[in-house]
Amino acid sequence: MFGVVRNTNNPTVGVFTAVAVGIGTGGPTVQDNDVGTQKGHKVLATTDIVSTLTHGNVKLTATFNPGKITNSTTQAITEAGLFDNTSSNLGANGTSVNMFARQTFSAINVGTADTLTVTWTININ
């Protein structure tokens, strides 16, 4: 879909269709292939593509409904990643997964009744 992959565990790369969020705090590196400590995973719900012959923008959105990140205590979400696998257990138990991007940010506290929306905008020039 995008033609660029940061790091892959598998020579076959699928369409990047999932977002994972976590509580890892280490900055992104080209060796990353997962979020540090995953707390939620969601298949992308929205894809918006705006393009011309020479460049374009892709906007990907995933919304985590209440109770999908935590059912008990508040989680301080500090990272998000974009993946080509829709498994809820990315990279575990031999699951093949490729990560397109990972970003860390200041903590967003998500409680049991909170909704979190993650939006990736990819500019292709």
Claim: this prediction has a pTM higher than 0.85: no
Single-letter code of the amino acid located at 91: G
Give residue 107's pLDDT: 96
Mean pLDDT over all residues of the chain?
79
For tokens 């790091």, the residue is 7
**What string of DSSP letters covers 67-109?**
TSS-SSS-EEEEEEEEES---SSTTGGG---EEEEEEEEEEEE
Residue 112, token pair as written in the block: 């049991």
| Burial (CB count within 10 angstroms: exposed 0-12, middle 13-18, buried 19+), residue 1 | middle
Q: What average pLDDT does range 109-115 have in this prediction?
A: 95
Whether 22 shows a pLDDT value over 70: the answer reads yes
Give residue 105's pLDDT: 93
Strand order in the sheet with 46-51: 46-51, 56-64, 116-124
Question: Is the pLDDT higher at 90 or at 2?
Answer: 90
Question: Is the pLDDT higher at 95 or at 67?
Answer: 67
Single-letter code of the amino acid located at 75: Q
CB–CB of 84/3 below 8 Å?
Answer: no
Question: Is the pLDDT higher at 117 or at 11?
Answer: 117
The most confident of the ranges 16-25, 81-90, 110-119 is 110-119
